[in-house]
Structure 1
């Protein structure tokens, strides 16, 4: 069901090419093919080059489910099976002391279930809003990071994805500028943030109410500054929003923008580390008001459409993000978020209130220390203004059934990730969905998934 000839025929040759490229014409001695294996030099500056690669294949399937009606943005009630594949190179270069340049060329292929619509908390973080049957090349990241050392003890950071092994003062200022994803820096969580390695549902790996600036793939242009001081980090960023909601980010226009700020505190509880993050954002762009759209629809006898009432406006949001190691093998997390709810969702998804929580555990208790298991749930809700809009037949970023018998969208996700080798993981994932797209008339149904992830 899951691993098809379609996957192997289109990805094996591409991934082989990625592996061959690691040699870089005999300069492999300067390449961090396995970054975790190489510490920083005594001066904190190792090799000037780093090259890594990853492949992620996700297949998801749901059976038939009850749906007396469907709209433009509805999940198809007939049984569906879709897959996505992405292959990424992580190429880095040290520029000067404290500065790095990273570029991530990527090849993508495939679609999310129902072309990535039908659920506000969509079940695959690897599925973009733009899909293709044939592999295509894009550049999700190209950015510069510069660390300015302050006082404090020296701290070593291990090499990893888009990260050299370095040794800097614990207190520092880090500047990132270029093309990247806002969640690369904001709303992070050790247990639920990476659709390639842990949970997959959009409203579990991120705060569903965080309508962060992004193109249809989740990336944008921007700059961020992080001030790290002892157990605290204060970070802020300014990012370009797309010219039209849920579309590509093209050119450089800053009149439509998003400002994000986050305060993080690191602590220990009974000797176990934890973090608390408070995030706020304000989006400023031409966006439609739900009430205006409904009123215009009533006056004209047509279906409400936020595209017809867009004008310059601001939409704020706030979220709380918690993580805590409980024992050496178990960690728990939770997010609570809210946004204005009066304006249309602009970039991410149609969620105005959201709560998610769960736990992650490694397999040392059953002799599989590198294996991991996760369990989490999310409850997503709409504002009164959004409810009225969708009940009148309006369409959003991901949801819109043409009518609405409202109920909060509820999702439970459980997964098991088995380490096949040090570099390759196979994950089995099950999500149970109640009231997809906030509609009591549709579902419930399960989503079954399998994920193959390899890193070099």
Structure 2
């Protein structure tokens, strides 16, 4: 073999090996503040401070992927997160601070990145580490996919079964929506990034261990997953007692065509089993003892058997180059205490995206949305008796109202890898308290990805 030919073969081998890897990165900071608002007279453990406040959150993630064999890939995501949400008060509470979120006082919290933060101090951890195996269902042509976050460049079968095992975010696969799903690039409100009433399995930072199975066809898909739940509400330690604790999630996705535009509808159901107590029992103990407990009973429970179940419907409707619309409706039984996501038992969100192509800024966009969130009668009675969850608790709730949020943003691509977003939110009845608010919130998001 000639020297030139040998050198060419070595170059080809090197390029082939590079194509088996995927390396991407994201960095997101959100500076958010709220003006002072009417809210005196309430001073609970989780009361949103009525004084004007500004807070900063930071997350940075490395997405590393490696193709192992045909259809298989290994993905690892080291991540650093830190910061807090607006309105959080420093507390001398004797309770374990790890049981609480650094985002309190608003059920549909206005900064989705704080969901992944368990402490104001930046910390390094492994967000995801999982193995993915794809099995083709037939010999039809596949779909070419580019290298992306947790995606190695290659051809993916149009009809396939996907098995995922390891540590990941359940929201990576379930309840997707092209217009409202990622607080790093889209809406910031918690009830817009996922079904609000879906108490989806996750630790404090939003990740869990589990097994997911997807059956995907060109026009529909069926997904199911079994995952670990945290040992305590909003806890970072997951419960490996899979005989008595865990989450089951099932979703059906169907594509359709409306006015010549393809749309998608997803129907999701879930059932979680944990140590979460019933709100009625927690309220009874609170009234009998005059104390929420140390640590709070509603955040720890004392025996397995707490079941929370619910469902959600998620729709997205593109409208060509002009943008698209979305809507979500979700509900849970509301009898068992919230354990992982947020204190919402009923939720309706609608909104849309206006693409920047109209004003010759194809990578810019305007987002507009409305969210209406509520809680069950048992949940209301618990909060009115002086109970506290890991996010809500004004000391009493004599004037319950739905929590309503309006959100608008403008996202601008400043450079190839840099995006800046101006965000405004208007929240009525924060924490379902009709005696407080409304709250005006402003945010500036900086997002880098490559």
Give the TM-score of the pair, scaled to structure 2: 0.89
Q: Distance in 2 between matches of 1:92 and 1:286?
A: 36
Aligned to 2:24: 52
1:241/1:134 Cα in 2 relative to 1: closer, same or farther (>3 Å)?
closer
Aligned to 2:160: 172
Aligned to 1:190: 178
Alignment of 1:232-381 (within 5 A): 232-250=220-238, 252-254=240-242, 255-303=244-292, 305-306=297-298, 307=300, 311-381=304-374
2:116 corresponds to 1:122: no
Aligned to 2:94: none
2:443 corresponds to 1:449: yes
1:257/1:131 Cα in 2 relative to 1: closer, same or farther (>3 Å)?
closer
Retained in 2: the 8 A contact 1:347–1:397? Answer: no
Structure 2 residue corresponding to 1:87, chosen from 56, 60, 64: 60
Aligned to 1:427: 421
Retained in 2: the 8 A contact 1:410–1:433? Answer: yes
Alignment of 1:26-105 (within 5 A): 47-68=19-40, 69-105=42-78
Aligned to 1:396: 389
Q: Distance in 1 between matches of 2:239 and 2:200?
A: 18
Structure 2 residue corresponding to 1:210, chosen from 198, 202, 208: 198
Q: Distance in 1 between matches of 2:232 and 2:118?
A: 19
Shift of 1:116: 0.8
Q: Distance in 2 between matches of 1:133 and 1:342?
A: 31
Identify unmatched segments of 5+ residues in structure 1. Answer: 1-26, 32-40
Q: Distance in 2 between matches of 1:207 and 1:377?
A: 13
Q: Deviations over 1:223-269 (max 9, x none)?
A: 10000123110000000001112101347432310000000001222
Shift of 1:322: 0.3
Shift of 1:297: 2.6
Aligned to 1:10: none
Identify unmatched segments of 5+ residues in structure 2. Answer: 1-10, 89-101
Q: Distance in 2 between matches of 1:295 and 1:231?
A: 50
1:361/1:435 Cα in 2 relative to 1: closer, same or farther (>3 Å)?
same
Retained in 1: the 8 A contact 2:368–2:408? Answer: yes
1:129/1:233 Cα in 2 relative to 1: closer, same or farther (>3 Å)?
closer
Q: Distance in 2 between matches of 1:406 and 1:251?
A: 34
Shift of 1:134: 4.1
Aligned to 1:231: 219
Q: Deviations over 1:19-46 (max 9, x none)?
A: xxxxxxxx9x979xxxxxxxxx9xxx97
More displaced 10-residue stretch of structure 1: 424-433 or 222-231: 222-231
Q: Distance in 2 between matches of 1:100 and 1:308?
A: 39
SS, match of residue 146 in structure 1: strand
Retained in 2: the 8 A contact 1:187–1:277? Answer: yes
Retained in 1: the 8 A contact 2:400–2:434? Answer: yes
Q: Distance in 1 between matches of 2:79 and 2:14?
A: 22
Aligned to 1:436: 430
Q: Distance in 2 between matches of 1:354 and 1:241?
A: 22
Q: Deviations over 1:183-227 (max 9, x none)?
A: 011111000000011001000111110101111111110110000
More displaced 10-residue stretch of structure 1: 371-380 or 308-317: 308-317
2:386 corresponds to 1:413: no
Q: Distance in 1 between matches of 2:137 and 2:315?
A: 27
Q: Distance in 1 between matches of 2:225 and 2:160?
A: 17
Shift of 1:158: 2.7
Shift of 1:61: 0.3
Give the TM-score of the pair, scaled to structure 1: 0.88
Q: Distance in 2 between matches of 1:329 and 1:168?
A: 29
Aligned to 1:19: none
Q: Distance in 1 between matches of 2:239 and 2:306?
A: 22
